[in-house]
Amino acid sequence: MMRSIDPATGQTIWEGEETAPEAIPAAVARARAALSGWAERPLDERVALLQRYAEILKQRTEDIARDIARETGKPLWETRTELGSMIGKVAVSIAAQAERAGTRAADTGFGRAVLRHKPHGVMAVLGPYNFPGHLPNGHIVPALLAGNTVLFKPSEEAPLTGQHLARALHDAGVPEHVFQLVQGGRDQGAALIGADIDGLLFTGAAATGAHFRRAMVDRPHVMLALELGGNNPLIAWGDSERSAAAIVQSAFITTGQRCSCARRLIVPQGVEGNAIVEAVHTMAARLRIGAWDDADEPFMGPLISTGAAQRAIDAVAALKAAGAKPLLPFERLERSEAFVTPAIYDVTDVQVPDVEIFAPVLQLIRVPDFDAAIAAANATSFGLSAGLLADDPALWRRFLAESRAGVVNWNRPTTGAAANMPFGGLGQSGNHRPSAYYAADYCAYPVASFEAEAIVDLSGELGGRLL
């Protein structure tokens, strides 16, 4: 029996049966049997069903947003935004399908040259807990539009959201075996990736992504699309008051549980850098922390679980043991044990691990000049997002040219991303298959054809080369 726990209260909000791991190969077989009928269905019919799905999400926004808030601890204002992103993803994915995975033809001297795209087949989607609706939805919608069948395992921390998503798709008319829900944790995930699938689409931790790469090393036919975490840098090289809000948004939104959150703040040594740090400290210390249904709307809620809070506390303890100096200490609140405070630690000249602390913990690095700032920003094996806060366009041009990340923002939070652009990174942050608008690329493969209505006589091309 699975349970979903409200991290703000510790109360059970949902319980249901896990999918038996031994039942998963049969589910994959059902998906494969349903594949041809779904893939051969006219695209406009698949489009209509997904548009109906978007309408259902719109009708159910308040109910689903409330349940995501209860399940994840996120404030209701944020989960309503998540539903808006899920709804908007359908139209964006339809446009991307047409642009990046559509059909085109050109006349030739013998007939025509045609480009088409075909679905990979049976796709497994593994979802995260931080955006348990929006992020898997960003894989599922383009996969279904392309003609794939899908098995979706939501995070074991967010099974109720997975139930909502499955119900909406089925109520929209997506056939039962075309989209199937797999509930469970590590055992179910292992059974799913070990089954006869054609693609694995995953958003989550870098360590898990590395495990999947190893698992697929002898299965090159399996499309592997990984959107992983980041140890993201944000350089602040300008006005302290204007920079502070962008830094706080970058580091602490969603209680630091976004893969694109700023983890490392890089500032100049001296008066300018001190002013930035002081402004950030003042603003971060004033952030309202609370449950999703508190009368005073919070900026951030708890972490996803008490276990996640303990892992973050252990990671911060390792920073302090290495020599990090607390400017704003990381602490638990006197509520449920999943509630924590935003934190800032000065790690200048301290050797700290190059890891993602998935919590509201910002590491401060002071540098003597902009060359050192860029070097510090790139001193990571990750490459998801990066940002620069500076009014000088010349600094931006340098940063854009020399930074290594898939999302590089200027005078905006590192967490900002557009649905009609790609989203993903390099290094430990992904495998060069960005999601969002570019999800269409990994949900279908191109087929190039030369075509003629009748057999073309090529004997003239053989000329005198015949015996």
- What per-residue confidence (pLDDT) applies to 199? 98
3-state SS, one letter per residue, for the chain? CEEEECCCCCCEEEEECCCCHHHHHHHHHHHHHHHHHHHCCCHHHHHHHHHHHHHHHHHCHHHHHHHHHHHHCCCHHHHHHHHHHHHHHHHHHHHHHHHHCCCEEEECCCCEEEEEEEECCEEEEECCCCCCCHHHHHHHHHHHHCCCEEEEECCCCCHHHHHHHHHHHHHHCCCCCCEEECCCCHHHHHHHHCCCCCEEEEECCHHHHHHHHHHCCCCCCCEEEEECCCCEEEEECCCHHHHHHHHHHHHHHHHHCCCCCEEEEEEECCHHHHHHHHHHHHHHHCCCECCCCCCCCCCECCCCCHHHHHHHHHHHHHHHHHCCEEEECCCECCCCCCCECCEEEECCCCCCCCCCCCCCEEEEEEECCHHHHHHHHCCCCCCCEEEEECCCHHHHHHHHHHCCCCEEEECCCCCCCCCCCEECCCHHHECCCCEECCHHHHHEEEEEEEECCCCCCCHHHHHHHCC
Residue-level pLDDT, tens digit, the chain, 467 residues: 899 999 999 999 999 999 999 999 999 999 999 999 999 999 999 999 999 999 999 999 999 999 999 999 999 999 999 999 999 999 999 999 999 999 999 999 889 999 999 999 999 999 999 999 999 999 999 999 999 999 999 999 999 999 999 999 999 999 999 999 999 999 999 999 999 999 999 999 999 999 999 999 999 999 999 999 999 999 999 888 889 999 999 999 999 999 999 999 999 999 999 999 999 999 999 999 999 999 999 999 999 999 999 999 999 999 999 999 999 999 999 889 999 999 999 999 999 999 999 999 999 999 999 999 999 999 999 999 999 999 999 999 999 999 999 999 999 999 988 899 999 999 999 999 999 999 999 999 999 999 998 998 888 888 777 77
- What per-residue confidence (pLDDT) applies to 458? 84
**Does the annotation count 461 as an active-site position?**
no
**Does the annotation count 261 as an active-site position?**
no
For the chain, what are the domain ranges? 2-228+430-451, 232-410
The catalytic position among 156, 259, 261, 443 is 259
Answer yes or no: same fold for 2-228+430-451 and 232-410. no
Just give the CATH number of 232-410.
3.40.309.10
What is the reported pTM?
A: 0.95
The catalytic position among 227, 337, 356, 443 is 227
- What per-residue confidence (pLDDT) applies to 241? 82
Just give the CATH number of 2-228+430-451.
3.40.605.10
